């Protein structure tokens, strides 16, 4: 990210803040440890922390919910304004790399023809491109499946908020992930 920002002078208020995912049960802890081990194989630096060590990361966590038993810590995690990042990246892509961004299009199908991506739109228009980026969330699977490229994208629901940084605010990003009881063996 730093290299990208240096090359393109992006300014979206980003900083390395670190992140913790709070853990509330032994089942969540087992699941978190499993996921952490997979991520570490890919080079991610993550640590499983007991409750006592969480408060050492940030003084604002001193009054942490008593139900928290631990956390997964990712010290290198960054925070920033995603809207500003996306807006600036779109400008970079369009202005410096001649990328055409199209939004709100209904795509009927994608295929590869002569080494190029061919997209059939519901409007009847057919687009071709050297590279096509599909950002359709869960709907991406139906488009990419026929190409053998469907990934394991699953819908999820989450809530986030941001608040002004004050003297008492955590400087670290805090995530609360409570798994449904049916998804983890107790």
- pLDDT, one tens digit per residue, over 37-49 is 998 998 889 999 9
* pLDDT confidence of residue 164: 76
Burial of 84 by CB count in 10 Å (0-12 exposed, 13-18 middle, 19+ buried)? middle
- At residue 55, the pLDDT reads 86
Sequence-distant (≥ 6) Cβ neighbours of residue 143 within 8 angstroms:
107, 109, 110, 134, 136
For residue 124, name the pLDDT band (cuts at 50, 70, 90).
very high
Own/partner pairs for 160-169, CB < 8 Å, 24+ apart? 168/60, 169/60
Does the model's pTM come out above 0.75? no
Question: Average pLDDT of 135-155?
Answer: 77
Q: Tens digit of pLDDT for each residue in 169-183?
A: 888 888 886 554 444
- pLDDT value of residue 184: 41
What does the pLDDT read at residue 185?
41
Task: State the Cα–Cα distance between residues 1 and 48, nearest whole angstrom.
Answer: 25
Taking residues 72-77, report their average pLDDT: 92
Model pLDDT, residue 158: 64
Mean pLDDT of the chain: 85
Of 11, 159, 20, 22, give the one whose Cα is nearest residue 88: 11
- Check residue 156 and give its pLDDT: 67
Cα diameter, the chain: 61
């Amino acid at each position: 990210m730093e290299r990208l920002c240096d090359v393109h002078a992006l300014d979206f208020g980003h900083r390395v803040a670190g992140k913790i995912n709070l853990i509330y049960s032994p089942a969540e802890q087992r699941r978190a440890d499993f996921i952490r081990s997979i991520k570490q194989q890919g080079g991610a630096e993550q640590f499983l922390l007991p409750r006592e060590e969480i408060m050492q990361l940030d003084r604002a966590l001193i009054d942490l919910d008593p139900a928290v038993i631990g956390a997964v810590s990712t010290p290198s995690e960054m925070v920033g304004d995603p809207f500003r990042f996306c807006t600036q990246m779109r400008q970079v892509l369009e202005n410096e790399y001649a990328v055409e961004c199209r939004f709100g299009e209904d795509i009927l199908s994608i295929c590869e023809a002569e080494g190029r991506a061919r997209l059939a739109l519901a409007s009847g228009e057919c687009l071709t491109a050297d590279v096509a980026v599909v950002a359709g969330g869960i709907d991406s699977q139906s488009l990419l499946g026929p190409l053998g490229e469907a990934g394991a994208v699953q819908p999820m629901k989450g809530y986030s908020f941001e608040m002004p940084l004050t003297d008492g605010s955590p400087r670290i990003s805090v995530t609360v992930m409570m798994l449904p009881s049916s998804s983890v063996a107790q």
